[in-house]
Structure 1
Amino acid sequence: MQRRQFIQTSSFALSTSPWLGNAWAQGDMPHDMNAMPGMAGMHSGGAATAAAAALAPVEAIAAGAPLAALRKLVNTSNQPRVFRATLRAAPVSLAVLQNGSPTEFWAYNNSLPGTLIEVMEGDTVEIEFINALPQPSTIHWHGLPVPPEQDGNPQDVVPAGGRRVYRFKLPLNCAGTYWYHPHPHGFTAEQVYRGLAGLFIVRAKNDPLKSIPERHLVFSDLKLGADGHIAANDMNDEMNGREGQFALVNAQRQPLLTFDAGGRERWRIWNANSARYLRLTLPGATFTLVGTDGGLLAKPVTGLTELLMTAAERMEVIVDAPKGGGKVGLVTAPVERGKMGEVPPERPITLLDVDFSAVKPERLAALPKLPGTLRRIQPLGAVKAKKRVVFSEEMSMAGGVHSMKFLVNGKNFDMQRVDFTSRINEVELWEIANDSDMDHPFHIHGTQFQVVEREVDGKVTPEPLLAWRDMVNTRSGETVRIKLVQRHKGLRMFHCHILEHENAGMMGQVNVI
């Protein structure tokens, strides 16, 4: 059955996804245990529904407050080069709506987003995780080169009420912008959209941009019912990935960023949405791209007027104040990613306002040139093995029951099945082919990769930018080729990072031997 026809004539149940923003208040509330996806019982606040409940209007959350800085996780270690701390995942009640009941979120250390971890490359990280949720959970260190047994895989869940210590040493040359979130199979989507996600920065010993004032921008969304409760997924959320009516920055609705008087800032940007892609523009200003998921580029890319980011992607950019000064909005423009069903038309969203009025024209004239070289990136060498991943969808009305699956190589995820075997330290070429009707962002655990080329309708386009990434978008009908190396033995996950799709089966496993 054709996908569009299926959507127009049916409803179906799967599971759930995105996440949120920064602490408004504190306190704990109880929560009922939720069922696994695919079973008859569905998540309270996470069940798919054919008819969407009434949502709170966008104006229900106040806008215009000064942009909040991220809370930092305190290092309790007295040892040099060791970062030691505790992360506790627990329910928390936050007063979000201006005129309504508190909303129950799940958060790390009562903070939304989760507290920022800052370490240096070469440091040892030791995090005690306390699971005060009514569900099993893990912490996945998204993008970080950590051993599989420390990476929060779904095989290594911490039970409700349990705890464990994650311990790993970060190698040199891994400086970059990362994040952490849960990864228990069947529960990931709900835990993330309820608030469980945090930020992680690995700093370089020699950072050529360290003198530039740094800004942290975490983009997320939130879907709230009119009663203040986190809203259930509807059919469109399950199909397209959940997008909340509130687009937030550092957990705030359209905050005000007062630009540094020096006229230049370094922005680290996290797209922490479950499904919303970002197409960022800042009228009158241009962006200089200096970093991707895995850290700095070899050379800056100047003169960009927009930034396109898939879900879970990160970037580092340099922003120089425009000559006109004043106040302008940072806008995300519509992105065509193949949504289906009865969805509202896409519209531009102003995410935050940027006030440049403190910057004097003479400061702009005195801005120094950026370094021409930021770091050395070597292309990965000769390929020793190849892998092919095909994303697809399967829809059925067999027996009068409407069902839908998101598949990898024609199969639904099975935690007991190993899909590929790789050898440690060997360069591999992976082909990610999108045989579905919508975009899917590909992610693999434990390593960064280099995009080599893209192919659409037989036309091959070499990737113009040599960079380290752990996220890459694949458009409908497109094949993306990447090179990667795994440096640790053990089991790794790869999947679509739209969490509804991951929960519905678009995930696989590779065993590194």
Structure 2
Amino acid sequence: MKRRVFLSGLLGAATASLFARASLAGEGAQGISGMADMPGMAGMSGMSGMDHTPMPTPAALAAVDALPAGAPLANLRVLASESQQAGVFRATLIAQPATHALLADKPPTTFWQYDASAANHDGPVIGPRIDVREGDRVEIRFVNRLPQPTTIHWHGLPVPPDQDGNPANPIAPGATHVYRFTLPKGSAGTYWYHPHPHMQTAEQVYRGLAGPIVVRAADDPLAAWPERHLFVSDLKLSADGAIAANSMMDWMNGREGQFVLVNGAREPRIDVVRDERWRVWNGCNARYLLLAFDDGRAFAQVGTDGGLLGAPREGVTSLLLAPGERAELIVRAGQGASTARLLAAQYDRRKMAMTHGSLPPTPVATLAQVHFGSQGDIANPTLPAQLRPIAALTPSNVKKSVVFSEAMDMHAMHQPGASKLAMPKGMRFMINGESYDAARITLTSRRNEVEQWTIANQTDMDHPFHLHGTQFQVLAREADGKRIDETVLAWRDTVNVKPGESVHVATVQREAGDRMFHCHILEHEDLGMMGTLRVT
């Protein structure tokens, strides 16, 4: 399969690969001025239009063990409701800079984070948990104290289009906006909120703007389980304590920091003395989480993005969460004391190399140290055989096609200073052959019509597909001419699509207006892998 389309005709494929490797393959690579010394490259230094200045060396990163590890898992802050009225959740969120001391003998690190007040910077950087119930009327007064325009996108929630924080509705620095929506019956699940301004989403999230949402049902069959929240993010930190800017490779592949954090901390300790319900969020820009315990112990999956499954999936030993995805798990304490590491096991998402082929997979990362204690006389509740009914969507004959593709203009990528730009030139990530344009309507749908969408990945790396305003059901996956029907009926709003794969989903939009759909590797979204769905 062809990895990408090279738009520049100045160099042949082999030359382009060598040329790109000099400046893009990573920190400390050979500069362009050294190309004449490469085999077969004699005389290339005289080509007109090419810059021969070596690319600048990126700032040194902090050591991978520079942050302390092993502290007890921090509880996420909870956003308190200001309302005394039953069924009304009213609160204030402020997006603002906040400093946290991370590295010894270095200046504090400045994050951007969500707080409930002007001075509340205690606790994890992760935004406060919004804990609400089906049927609640939600009013969030949002104040933007950032130097950039921003929005709040209520990822996965079925909110009206004009309340969903789309890039068409930016909130200027210093401005205030009130988001209002009502949570319908059947919307109980694990969601999150984050910014969605076009071309600034990736930066705002990696600087810290993200937080969890839990929507609860009155008849939750798992209400008796103690609940634990694990919000996973990652952090790319320079040796001087500053949050590092994206490199050219970060833009191409999506940003992965050297620190993987759970509730804002490195490798926290989790003590489990009875069976627990875990809600897990992948709030990373681009990191995939293949969840597993290093001793191979099994857990049960009981929920996905859009809430509980119809029945538990027992005996699960690994579960992939693409960026933006969430899951609910039952983790059992067992009968004796033991210790295991919760891992983001190795998963090859085929990150781009500027030579032919792909970069090596991201190494295994420890998410948490889990200590399983003796349950003693604690009686655990019995996991129900059935969790809730899920009706399968029956698609009409209306079909939609979404095709992921990419193109690289090598000449533009090597212009002087190209790697220093906040938004690098020469990279195009596309849907249906076009990069995002706010004035373009990519697809149109009719309200309340169940459709079958096919998301085809014509690139050589994984891309997670996310659709706003609704959930969908995966019907089947197709690759190499073989179709495999989905065996787990579940509600999702994000699904991974592998290279050369097509994923078929059934979905329906309930409200008229404009909705976004995009790759949830945030750098790819910012670089154009996003479209607008108009619902009439």
- Normalising by structure 2, we get a TM-score of 0.85
Where do 1:198-237 residues align within 5 Å? 198-237=211-250
- Aligned residue for 2:249, secondary structure, equals helix
CA distance in 2 between partners of 1:238 and 1:309 (Å): 21
Q: Which residue of 1 aligns with 2:431?
A: 408
User: Which of 272, 292, 296 is the equivalent residue of 1:281?
Assistant: 292
Alignment of 1:311-330 (within 5 A): 311-330=323-342
Partner of 1:82: 88
Name which of 343, 346, 365 aligns with 1:349: 365
Shift of 1:97: 1.6
The equivalent residue for 1:183 is: 196
The one-letter code of the counterpart of 1:488 is E
Match of 2:132 in 1: 119
Identity rate, percent: 55
Which secondary structure does the structure 1 equivalent of 2:279 belong to?
A: strand
After superposition, the C-alpha distances for 1:410-460 in whole angstroms (9 at most, x for unaligned) are: 101000100111000000110000000100000010000000000001100
Q: Which moved more, 1:325-334 or 1:240-249?
A: 325-334
Alignment partner, residue 397 of structure 1: 410
Q: Distance in 2 between matches of 1:204 and 1:496?
A: 30
Matches within 5 A, 1:122-161: 122-161=135-174
* Alignment correspondent of 2:312: 300
Q: In the alignment, residue 434 of structure 1 is paired with which amino acid? A: N
Q: 1:503 aligns with which of 522, 526, 532?
A: 526
Q: Which runs of 5+ in 1 are unaligned?
A: 15-48
Shift of 1:100: 1.7
Q: 1:91 aligns with which of 97, 103, 111?
A: 97
Asked if the contact 1:285/1:322 (under 8 Å) is kept, the reply is no
Looking at structure 1, the residues matched to 329 and 410 of structure 2 have their Cα atoms a distance apart, in angstroms, of 47
Report the equivalent of 2:36: none
Whether contact under 8 Å (1:73, 1:116) holds in the other structure is: yes
Query: Which runs of structure 2 are paired with 1:30-41 in the superposition (5 Å)?
Result: none
Q: Is 1:449 matched up with 2:449? A: no
Amino acid at match of 1:349: A
From 471, 478, 483, the equivalent of 2:501 is 478
Length, aligned pairs only: 474
- The alignment status of 1:264 with 2:264, answered yes or no, reads no
1:92 aligned counterpart, secondary structure: strand
Which secondary structure state, in structure 1, belongs to the residue aligned with residue 260 of structure 2?
strand
Q: Distance in 1 between matches of 2:305 and 2:180?
A: 22
Deviation at 1:177, TM superposition (A): 0.2
Q: Do the aligned residues in 2 keep the contact of 1:395 with 1:404 (CA within 8 Å)?
A: yes
Is residue 359 of structure 1 aligned with residue 371 of structure 2?
no
Matches within 5 A, 1:409-424: 409-424=432-447
Match of 1:241 in 2: 254
Gaps of 5+ in 2: 5-12, 25-54, 116-120, 416-424
Give distance in 2, aligned partners of 1:235 and 1:311. Answer: 20
Rate the CA distance shift 1:254–1:327 in 2: closer, same or farther, 3 A: same
Determine if contact 2:137/2:182 at 8 Å carries over to the other structure.
yes
Q: CA deviation at 1:323?
A: 3.9
In structure 1, the residue matched to 2:302 is 290
Deviation of 1:368 (Å): 4.5
Kept after mapping to 2: 8 A contact 1:7/1:340 = no
> CA-atom RMSD, angstroms?
2.0
Residue 16 of structure 2 corresponds to residue 10 of structure 1: no
- How far off is 1:358 after superposition? 4.2
Distance 2:498 2:528 in 1: 19
1:356-394 deviations in Å (ceiling 9; x for gaps): 12434x65xx54531011001000124141110000011
Letter in 1 for 2:400: K
- The equivalent residue for 1:53 is 59
Letter in 2 for 1:57: A
Query: What is the CA deviation profile of residues 474-503 of structure 1, one whole-angstrom value per residue up to 9, with x for unaligned ones?
Result: 000000000000011100000000011001
Letter in structure 1 aligned against 2:204: Q
Alpha-carbon distance, 1:78 to partner: 1.3
| Change in 2 beyond 3 A, CA 1:210/1:13 | farther
8 Å CA contact 1:57, 1:226 repeated in 2: yes
3-state DSSP class of the match of 1:155? coil
Amino acid at match of 1:394: A
Aligned to 2:118: none
CA distance in 2, matches of 1:184, 1:119: 25
Aligned 8 A contact 1:11 1:235 in 2: no
Query: Measured at CA, do residues 146 and 8 of structure 1 come closer, stay the same or move farther in structure 2, by a change above 3 Å?
Result: farther
Per-residue CA deviation, residues 24-53 of structure 1 (Å, 9 max, x unaligned), is xxxxxxxxxxxxxxxxxxxxxxxxx76432
1 CA distance for matches of 2:23 and 2:454? 31
C-alpha contact (below 8 Å) 1:284/1:322 kept by paired residues:
no
1:425/1:65 Cα in 2 relative to 1: closer, same or farther (>3 Å)? Answer: same
Report matched runs for 1:483-494 at 5 Å.
483-494=506-517
Counterpart-to-counterpart distance in 1, 2:427 and 2:372? 49
Instruction: Label 1:107 to 1:203 Cα distance change in 2 as closer, same or farther (>3 A).
Output: same
DSSP-derived class of the 1:179 partner: strand
Quote the Cα distance in structure 1 between the aligned partners of 2:21 and 2:433.
Answer: 23
**Contact residue 348 and residue 361 of structure 2 kept, 8 A:** no
Provide the C-alpha distance between the structure 2 equivalents of 1:293 and 1:231, rounded to a whole number of angstroms.
Answer: 30
Q: In 1, distance between residues paired with 2:3 and 2:205?
A: 31
Give the Cα separation in 1 of the matches to 2:440 and 2:21. 30
Secondary structure at the aligned position of 1:433 is classed as: strand
Distance 1:397 1:329, change over 3 A: closer
Structure 2 equivalent of residue 30 of structure 1: none
CA drift of 1:395 comes to: 1.5
Aligned equivalent of 2:180: 167
Q: Are 2:462 and 1:439 aligned?
A: yes
Contact 1:13 1:403 (8 Å CA) reproduced:
no
